[in-house]
């Protein structure tokens, strides 16, 4: 195969994130409805070249040491399971903020696995692809198909794909990185301890917009309070989003600091994004269709 292969690496948005407790292996038991943005990073693979990675784009400086990049780690993890795996030269254009609760690195790794699977005639549901994804990080498996679904356990238990109604959203990141481990430490669950917060509302595989928003209003992000203590600006972001005309729901994604609001239509979302960007030029602000 010749010619460049290209994959989009969208933002992962946790519409909900329930923490049920902490397992005996130290991981937290989660229930989360995950969906993906229309935009994000872009990953290109040029086959028939030595394995390498170049990172460009607006947030490339924040991406850290190339040797630790999840694109290369995902490639090595799959190569360990597929002898003779063909790879090549990767170019990653980073647009998503880093350490932002929207799975930028995980989505990049998943995009690499999709590219490698296509290059090597592997199905995305090949167990070796899933095993490589799970080795890299808890959020990577759900990012492989990059379509809405429930994610449970520490991320290894994936529900059926969900066909979302058209969800118009505004994503806001105030530029403050928040480490997931710091948020979990602030929550402070001991091994084997239940959170007692309660389970997740049922989600249909083909929900209406009204039904989904109603269910999400009953759901939570159990990391939101702890993250807001670590980064108080999160509370400000949520207040700004909730006050925007047409906003139906405002919530933090993942472990933060990115927050989102759902809107009735595309026009309301775009207008809100424009106003927030004007009033907070230091924030990363995007309107997006979620899927």
Which residue bears the tokens 């696995």? 113
What is the arithmetic mean of pLDDT over 53-79? 92
Q: In the structure encoding, which two tokens stand for residue 247, read together?
A: 């906003």
Does 139 participate in catalysis according to the annotation? Answer: yes
Question: b/e for 35-69, b at 16 or more Cβ within 10 A?
Answer: bbbebbbbbbbebeeeeebebeeebbebbeeeeeb
Fold of 5-161: Ribosomal Protein S5; domain 2 (3.30.230)
What is the arithmetic mean of pLDDT over 11-31? 97
Task: Write the pLDDT tens digit of every residue in 183-212.
Answer: 999 999 999 999 999 889 999 999 999 999
pTM, entire model: 0.95
Where are the CATH 3.30.230.10 domain residues in the chain? 5-161
Task: Write the pLDDT tens digit of every residue in 269-278.
Answer: 999 999 999 9
Does 225 participate in catalysis according to the annotation? Answer: no
pLDDT band at 64 (very low <50, low <70, confident <90, very high): confident
The answer to whether 33 and 200 have CB atoms below 8 angstroms apart is: yes
- For the chain, give the mean pLDDT: 96
Where are the CATH 3.30.70.890 domain residues in the chain? 167-290
Task: Write the pLDDT tens digit of every residue in 72-99.
Answer: 999 999 999 999 999 999 999 999 999 8
Task: Write the pLDDT tens digit of every residue in 149-185.
Answer: 999 999 999 999 999 999 999 999 999 999 999 999 9
pLDDT band at 2 (very low <50, low <70, confident <90, very high): low
Task: Write the pLDDT tens digit of every residue in 258-267.
Answer: 999 999 999 9
Q: In the structure encoding, which two tokens stand for residue 64, read together?
A: 């850290």
**Which residue out of 41, 94, 108, 139 is catalytically annotated?**
139
Fold of 167-290: Alpha-Beta Plaits (3.30.70)
What is the arithmetic mean of pLDDT over 250-255? 98
């Amino acid at each position: 195969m010749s010619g460049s292969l290209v994959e989009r690496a969208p933002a992962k948005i946790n519409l909900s994130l329930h923490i049920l407790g902490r397992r005996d292996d130290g991981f937290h038991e989660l229930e989360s409805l995950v969906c993906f943005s229309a935009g994000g990073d872009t990953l290109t693979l040029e086959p028939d070249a030595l394995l390498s990675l170049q990172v460009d784009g607006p947030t490339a400086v924040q991406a850290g040491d190339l040797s630790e990049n999840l694109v290369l780690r995902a490639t090595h993890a799959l190569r360990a399971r597929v002898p003779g795996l063909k790879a090549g030269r990767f170019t990653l254009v980073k647009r998503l903020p880093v350490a932002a609760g929207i799975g930028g690195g995980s989505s990049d790794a998943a995009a690499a696995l999709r590219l490698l699977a296509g290059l090597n005639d592997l199905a995305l549901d090949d167990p070796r692809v899933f095993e490589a994804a799970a080795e890299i990080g808890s959020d990577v498996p759900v990012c492989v198909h990059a379509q809405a679904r429930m994610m449970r356990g520490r991320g290894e238990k994936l529900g059926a794909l969900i066909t979302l109604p058209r969800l118009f959203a505004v994503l806001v990141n105030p530029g403050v990185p928040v480490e997931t481990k710091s948020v979990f430490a602030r929550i402070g669950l001991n091994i084997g301890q239940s959170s007692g917060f309660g389970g997740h509302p049922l989600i249909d595989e083909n929900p209406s917009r009204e039904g989904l928003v109603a269910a999400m209003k009953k759901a939570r992000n159990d990391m939101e309070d702890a993250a807001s203590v670590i980064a108080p600006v999160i509370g400000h972001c949520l207040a700004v989003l909730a006050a925007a005309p047409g906003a139906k729901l405002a919530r933090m994604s993942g472990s933060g600091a990115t927050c989102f609001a759902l809107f009735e239509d595309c026009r309301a979302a775009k207008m809100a994004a424009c106003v927030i960007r004007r009033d907070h030029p230091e924030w990363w602000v995007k309107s997006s269709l979620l899927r």
